[in-house]
Structure formats: structure tokens, C-alpha cells
Structure 1
Amino acid sequence: MSHRRGLLIVGLLVPALITFMLWAFTWPVARSAPHDLPVGVAGPPVATDRIASQLSDADGAFDVHRYPDEAAAREAITHREIYGALVADGQGPRLLTASAAGPAVAQLLQSIATGQAAEGTEVTVVDVVPGPAADPRGAAFTAGVLPLALAGLATGAAITATRLRGRWALLALACSAPLIGLAAAAVGHGWLDVLGGGWWQVTAALSLFALTGAATVAGAAALLGPRGIGLGALLLMLLGNPWSGAGSAPELLPEPVGALGQLLPTGAGATLLRSVSFFDGHGAAFPLVVLLAWTAAGVAAVLAGRRRAPHRPAPAGPAAATPAAPAAA
């Protein structure tokens, strides 16, 4: 490597990469605000019209759903149709939340409900789907998303580094992903008890999460070479992790980051894991489709990369092998 090229990398490319990472990680947090956040109001129209109007007038912050009573709102929360609901049925103001869907959203709704209540009126807060007792703020859940994304990246990079191709690469994916899922379930579900749901369902979601990341990186590397690992890092880590909404909610991220993050493997994996762990699989259909689509694309790329003949330099001919005749005196 020439000195000029090294100076270019150290002096320009590295600062540009750090600037990009700072933007990708800090901008969504700094501009966190609700965008079409699904919330509900429950009760007779005469009591809920004012509340629904105030929420609807909040400049696109909330997507308001109406329900006839508290039972219907509770069902909508457990089915992941809304994040919470304000109940006004003449029995005192109540707020239904689901901290398992995102503690940040639950706190936001609680502050809104308190602000809308009449002076001196206390709002009763009911956590319909609480987070696990070992992780009430969801910090462990959020922290666990990054290692899963890193596991997919490392597996895909290892397949590339060991030059596994075709069916051998697919066999490596099929063997590593379930082991990663089992290890993650043993830590998060068994030991730390920060994941709910059934053991095998959670293990399957974790395994698919890891498989999707690994297949994406391995497929990109099969087509692009080592540069594919950088593309995989971009999709899984640099953009996928901060845009996943795992620490808050996709609807709290700036537009269109929240929607784009759910189309990437990390965001879809986090949403699938949350649905399986705390909501009996409700809301898992869309992220499941996204993960399967990325996995299928990665597998297809691995197989397509195997069919590409590696470039080899042409052997030197006799003329090239024969040393040049000495110049005539």
C-alpha cells in the first residue's frame, strides 16, 4: 500500500466513517417523537370524543383507534394493534399500557394521560402486558439485540474467510444458527429470565434472527467478495441496530427511519422476538416475512456465487517465460 493511499484512508475515510456512525446512532435518538403511534380510546363517544380529538390534532403524532369498552381495548393491546388506550367510561380515567411493547411508549402515554386529566384527578395506570420482573425497563432486551446482529455478521464473515461455498456454506449456516439460538435462549430465557414465551418458540425466533444475518452477509460476500462483509455490517449494525426501534418503538423514530428499520434484518428480528416473547406471537407475521425474504435472498446469493468461476490470471506463455535477449552491443 502506497503512503498516499494510507494517508487517504486514515485522514479522510476513517473520519467520514465515524461521522456516518455518529449520524446513524445519535440522530434517531435526538429526534425521538411519536409518528402515527397507534393508541386507543375506549368508552362511549360522548366521553371519548374530546380525548380522541386532542390526540388526532397532535400533528400526526398518533393513530387513534376507537373501542366501545375497556375489554375491547385490552384485546387490541394484547394483539399488538395499539400500544395503549385511554379509558373514559364514567368510572374514573384509566390508562392501559403494555410496557413489554416498549417502556418508553408506556411512559409517554402516562404523561399524556396525566396532562389530559382534570386538575386534582388521579389517572389509574394498568399495565396489561408488563415486561418481565427481571427486566422491567427492557434494558436487557435492548442490549441483547446487538450481540444477535453481531453473531450473524461474524458467522457470515467466518464462512467467507474459510472459503466455504455452495452446499458447504449452507450447511455451515444450518448448523451455526440453531446453536446460536439455543445459546441465546439459554442466557436470556433460562438464566437471566428476561425473555418470556415458550422455550422453543423463543429459540426458533433467535435462531432465525441469527440465520438471517449470517445468510445476508455470506450471500453479499459470495457476490461481492470481502466488500460484501462491509455491506452486511452496514445493513445489520451501522443502520440496522440504531434503526431497529428495539430500545423504544419504531413509531418513535424519525420518519422514514422507523419504517425502513423494520425492513432490515435487525429491526425485523427484534420485533419478531418481542412478539414471540411477550405477545403470544401476535404481530409476528410481518417481521417473519421480512426475515424469511432476507434469508432466501442470502441463500440464493450463496448459490449464485458458487457458480461464478473465480478469476485466475492467465498462465505465462513461453515468450514471457524466456528471458529477454541481451541487447546488441
Structure 2
Amino acid sequence: MTANLPPTPRRIAAVCLAVPLLVAFALWAFTWPAARLAPHDLPIGVAGPAAATAPFEQQLASHQGAFEIHRYTDGAAAREAVENREVYGAVVAGEAGPELYTASAAGPLVAQLLQGVGGKAKLTDVVPAPAGDPRGAVFGAGLLPLVLAGIASGALVTLLRLRGGAAIGALLGAAALTGLVAAAIAHSWLGALTGNWSAEAGVLALTTLAVGATTAGLAALIGPPGIGLTALLMVLLGNSFSGVTSAPELLPGAARVIGAQLPPGAAGTLLRSVAFFDGAAAAAPLLTLSLWAGLGLAAVGLAAARRRPAPEAAALAVGEPGQVTTPA
């Protein structure tokens, strides 16, 4: 067994170099987005007479590239835009003075940011964060366990050598049960989610399935190293670039784009929509998660089909029923 291994000095050098490189990559992935948190084209609405909203619009425009201004005819339209997740907040200029609409359920950090921009405007939290999780701590911390559950399910399917339909069934079953357990904890016990219980459980299950299917699919195609590659992708990039503890629009450009296309980022956006906004703006993240899950399951099935011997080969190896071999 040891004859094919590289010489000991090379293996020592590989360990000494690989560990610092991995640590450097992990530190960059986790700390760079946090160190560069700032609004980038953060959508915010304004409503009211142009003369009344002009000073506020000028204030927003002074932060170049930070805000994306959406104009609405009146306060009702602006409020509806906040509820539909078109904007994170809105300033409405009325006879009684300016009023700031926020949605702390969309991200407490963004709501605090808008309060600073809104100045002395009257504050109205249109979609407040749940009483059980007012700072979004539970919501932000709950994503990583689902990612780890997905990696674990994919790894177990691989290590137990489940293939084809058996592997797909195991992944689906593990994801479904994980979704039920996670919803019971986050919604029923902690009160951190306040939407439709079944829909939330479905999102949590789909998140686990997307990661688990990707893990098992990649491992089925390239072998056990696929487990490690998926873990690096989902944990170091997906989790740290998800924006679940802040908002995608607060992340640096590259992190924002990458995070939205990976399961953790899509899951955070989808779960917010389902849990707090009656499913508003859920289509894009739902599609992203479904694609990851579907492609992963397809890879599992494809790998099983490639390993299955052709009928002719199986017949030659086993012998067809009733076949008699005669000597030449």
C-alpha cells in the first residue's frame, strides 16, 4: 500500500502548505464580506410631491451607487412595494411630515441603516421581525445546520454505496425529515418563523435536498473527493456569501452575485419570502434551489446508469436462461 505513496518529505510539505492555504481561503471567504458590508444598489422607495421628496432623493444620490431609488405615487403604493419585497423601505412625504416605512423582517441590519438615512421621519415597521427573533439571530444561525445536514446526507449516501433509486430515495427522505424537524424547532419552538408552517418546512427540506443531491451527485461522478469539493463550495462560499445575516445588497459585488446562485443564498432569500412576506419575490430563489436539487439527483441517476452493465455484457457474464454451451 505504501509503495505507491509519494516520498515522506513530499507528503509533509503537502500538509504544511495545504493547511495554511485552506485557512487563508476560509478567512478570506468569511471575513471579506463582513469587512465590506455597505449598501450596493439597495432598493428604496420615495412617495409624495416631487418638491417634498427632492431633499431626500438628493441625500440618497449623494451616496453614489449605494441606493436604487423607486418612485411611487402615494404612501399606499410605497407600502405595497415594501410588502412585496420590491424595496427594503420607503420614505413618504405627507402633510403630517415625512414617514419612513421599513421591513425589519427583510433584515434588521437594513432596517437600522434606513433609520439612519431617514433622519427624523416617523418610523413605521410595515413587516416587523418576529417577536421570537427580533434581531434575526436565529434566522441567520439556522442556515448553516441545513447546509451541514445536506452535506452529511450526500456523504452518507456515498459512503454507504447507495446508488440510483436507492440513493435518490435516501436523499429525498432525509431532506423531508430534516425540513420537518427544522420547522418544528425554528417555527413551533423558537418562534423565529411566522409564515405557513408547511411551506417553511418545504423550503427547509428543499435547501437540504439541494445541498445533499449536489454532494452525492458530484461524489458519484468523480468519487469521494466530490464530498470535499461540495463542502468547500457550500460552506466557505455559499454560507459566507449568502447574506442571510445582513442582506444580499449589503455584500460586495462578487460575493453578492455568487451567493445568490448558490443554495445557501437562495435558501435565505426564499425562506424570508415564505416566512414573512407571503411568498413575495420567491420565484427566482425557488428556481435556483430546484435547479441544484434536480441537477444533483440527475447526476446520481446518470452515474448509476453508467455503472450498470449493458444487457449483452450481463448475458455473456451470467449466461442467458436455457443457453447451452457446446464444445467447438
Q: Which one of 4, 8, 14 corresponds to residue 9 of structure 1? A: 14
Alignment of 1:39 with 2:39, yes or no, is: no
3-state DSSP of counterpart to 2:261: coil
Residue 157 of structure 1 is aligned with which of 155, 158, 181?
Answer: 155
Amino acid at match of 1:41: V
SS of the aligned residue for 1:256 comes to: helix
Q: Is it true that 1:74 corresponds to 2:72 in the alignment?
A: no
Q: Give the match's secondary structure for 2:115.
A: helix
Residue of structure 2 in register with 1:93 after alignment: 98
Give the Å deviation of 1:4.
2.2
Which whole-Å CA distance do the structure 1 matches of 2:9 and 2:158 have between them? Answer: 29
Structure 1 residue 295 displacement after superposition: 0.9
Structure 1 counterpart of 2:236: 238
User: Who is 2:315 aligned against?
Assistant: none
Q: Comparing 203-212 with 89-98, which one deviates more in the overlay?
A: 89-98
TM-score where L is the length of structure 1? 0.90
Displacement, 1:175? 1.0
Map residues 106-145 of structure 1 onto 2, 5 A cutoff.
106-114=111-119, 122-145=120-143
RMSD: 1.2
2: CA distance, partners of 1:9 / 1:91: 69
> What is the TM-score of this pair, normalised by structure 2?
0.90
2:59 pairs with 1:61 = no
CA deviation map 1:233-278 (0-9, x unaligned) = 1221110001000000000000021121010011001111111000
* Structure 2 counterpart SS, 1:88: strand
Structure 2 distance, partners of 1:82, 1:125, is 16
Identity among equivalent positions (%) equals 56
Take 2:54 and 2:74, find their aligned partners in 1: how far apart are those partners?
A: 14
Aligned runs of 1:265-284 on 2, under 5 Å?
265-284=263-282
Which amino acid counterpart does residue 74 of structure 2 have in structure 1? D
Q: More deviation in 90-99 or 186-195?
A: 90-99
Shift of 1:72: 0.8
How far is 1:71 from its partner? 1.0
Alignment of structure 1 residues 279-298 onto 2, 5 Å: 279-298=277-296
Segments of 4+ in structure 1 off by > 4 A? none
> How far off its partner does 1:86 sit?
1.2
Structure 2 distance, partners of 1:52, 1:277, is 31
- CA offset digits 1:220-241 (Å, max 9, x no partner): 1111111111121122111000
User: Does 2:50 align with 1:52?
Assistant: no
Q: Structure 2: which 5+ runs fail to align? A: 309-328
Q: Which residue of 2 aligns with 1:119?
A: none
Equivalent residue in structure 2 for 1:215, among 210, 213, 216? 213
